[in-house]
Amino acid sequence: MTRIPDQPKRLRILPISKLATAPKWQLETLRALREPVFYWFTSGQGRITLAGSTRGFHPHNAIYIPPGTMYGFQAMSRAQGVALHMGEPAGLDLPDTPMHLRLRDAAQHSEVSQIIDAIQRELEGGKPFAERAARHQIGLLAIWLERQRSSAGDDSPRGMSSNNANERLTSRYTALLEREYGSALNVSDYAQVLGVTPTHLTRACRASCGRSALQLMQERRLFEARRLLSETDVPVQDIARSLGFSTPSYFSRAFSASTGKPPSHYRKGRGL
């Protein structure tokens, strides 16, 4: 079978404005990256579903997403800022849980901006050892994140520790789903692993992020299908097999129902 390529991991900074103009499926479909990502919003607003919980974001919000954490954006209005994709996470000593920080202090805003600016200068300056220097700056960002988590008051978000029971169960489900979305497991199988009934799992998912457990599973699989169809030349039958579909025809029907196009037509348009 053709080798299925992983998502790329490369240290880079992207403007939020560019992210906001991406196709709707790239923004809204819940998915996970294999690298840590840090979002710093300087203006605008929107909503993000992160680790099974949907929350609003506003100016001076900092969001850290560890590798393998499912997330998706909704309704990004005039959003500005930067997205720092950190590439290979080894050696960075970053937090292992998501964080959504609403920063009210001007000194905090300045600290974040200074670190991001230093990383950007290294990546764009063309000097020797630039990426190595930028990764050292990410180390400072990791320390900053830990300090924010340890010093947050009772009225501030402390990572995602304030999640309720539904959100915690949904978070466990999405983490498991991210590891196993390429398998043939169904919602009942996931519920059994999590020690709950399928009905309870679906109720928790709907309460947390407005999607059923089945919708979350289908969205994750089909996001990967879109990525592979638009970014690679992997044969359709291999994509179907890698995503746990029993036959290519079943995959084609599911993909067409979601996107309005069969996989072959979607690939010709490269995701447009």
pLDDT digits (tens, 9 = 90+) for 148-162: 988 754 334 444 445
Please state, as a whole number, how many other Cβ atoms lie within 10 Å of the Cβ of residue 166: 19
Domain 11-151 grouped into CATH 3.30.590.10: no
pLDDT at position 152: 59
Nearest to 28 by CA among 13, 44, 46: 46
Half-sphere exposure of 95 (CA within 13 A, CB side): 24
pLDDT over 60 (residue 260): yes
Domain ranges, ordered by start, for the chain: 11-151, 165-268
Least-confidence region, from 28-32, 38-42, 146-150, 182-186:
28-32
The answer to whether residues 104 and 60 touch, using CB atoms and an 8 Å cutoff, is yes
* CATH T-level topology, domain 165-268: Arc Repressor Mutant, subunit A (1.10.10)
pLDDT at position 70: 84
Half-sphere exposure of 106 (CA within 13 A, CB side): 0
Please state the rounded mean pLDDT for residues 2-13.
71
pLDDT over 60 (residue 254): yes
- When comparing pLDDT for 114 and 30, which is higher? 114
pLDDT over 50 (residue 54): yes
Contact partners, residue 126, CB within 8 Å, separation at least 6: none
Please state the rounded mean pLDDT for residues 206-226.
91
- Identify the bridge partners of residue 64 per DSSP, sorted by sequence position: 38, 99
pLDDT at position 270: 67
32: pLDDT confidence band, cut at 50, 70 and 90?
confident
Please state the rounded mean pLDDT for residues 187-200.
97
Q: What is the largest CA-CA distance in the chain?
A: 56
Question: Per the confidence metrics, is the pTM higher than 0.95?
Answer: no
pLDDT at position 156: 40
pLDDT over 70 (residue 96): yes
108: pLDDT confidence band, cut at 50, 70 and 90?
very high
pLDDT over 50 (residue 66): yes
68: pLDDT confidence band, cut at 50, 70 and 90?
confident
pLDDT over 80 (residue 164): yes
DSSP label at 213? H
- When comparing pLDDT for 117 and 8, which is higher? 117
